[in-house]
Structure 1
Amino acid sequence: MNLREAIIKSPTLNPDLVLYAKRIDGQLLPSSEAILLDLTEEEQEMKTHEVANRKCPGFSYCMEIFLIQEMMEDLDGLADKNDIDTRVDRVIHYIEYDA
């Protein structure tokens, strides 16, 4: 699964999952390889890079699925809501610069 697919599927996913992705040349891109993790309570207490090192080396923490679901709901209200690539790009931008 890539990051674009994970973001698009987010409304149907378990909100407790956490999204991690591989950077391409230091950036998260729609084509970045992505993985969804169902963390244990112990893992939820760990730092995100420790979880990545243990469960998915080479991947970076992105965001919890419930937060992506909320963003996608908010983006549904925009005029360009039918443009899924714009919504995916906005979520990735948020992950990169604001999360």
Structure 2
Amino acid sequence: MNLRDVILNCNQYIDSDEFMNMVFVKKQNNKFESNSEATVLKLTFEEMEMNLRDIANSKCPGFDYFLEMNIVQDFYAEIQNSKEYNSDDERVKRIIYYAEFDA
């Protein structure tokens, strides 16, 4: 699965009282790219208190923390109807930019 797919299908992930979904991505040339390999981990709240780098190293080596899925969902919903981001590619690029520079 790549990052673009994760972002565009973000609403299929639902958090519960027991876990939260978090996105981890394998960077390309030290950057998140829409075609970067991505995974979504269901983490317990106890695991979320751990260092995110330690979680990545143990559950998905070579991947870096991207964002919590609920943040991706909220941001995607906010820009989905924006005239500034008319295409899926523009929306994906905006969320990647947010993760790299604003989060």
TM-score class normalised by the smaller sequence: over 0.9
> Which residue in 2 is equivalent to 1:52?
56
Shift of 1:82: 4.0
- TM-score normalised to the size of structure 2? 0.90
Shift of 1:41: 2.5
Unaligned runs of 5+ in 1: none
Shift of 1:98: 1.2
Unaligned runs of 5+ in 2: none
Shift of 1:11: 1.7
> Which residue in 2 is equivalent to 1:2?
2
Equivalences, count: 99
- Percent identity of the aligned residues? 36
The question of 1:66 aligning with 2:70 is answered: yes
Letter in 1 for 2:36: S
Deviation larger for 86-95 or 37-46? 37-46
- TM-score normalised to the size of structure 1? 0.93
Of 13, 25, 29 in structure 1, the residue corresponding to residue 33 of structure 2 is 29
Letter in 1 for 2:73: Q
| Superposition misfits of 4+ residues, deviation over 6 angstroms | none
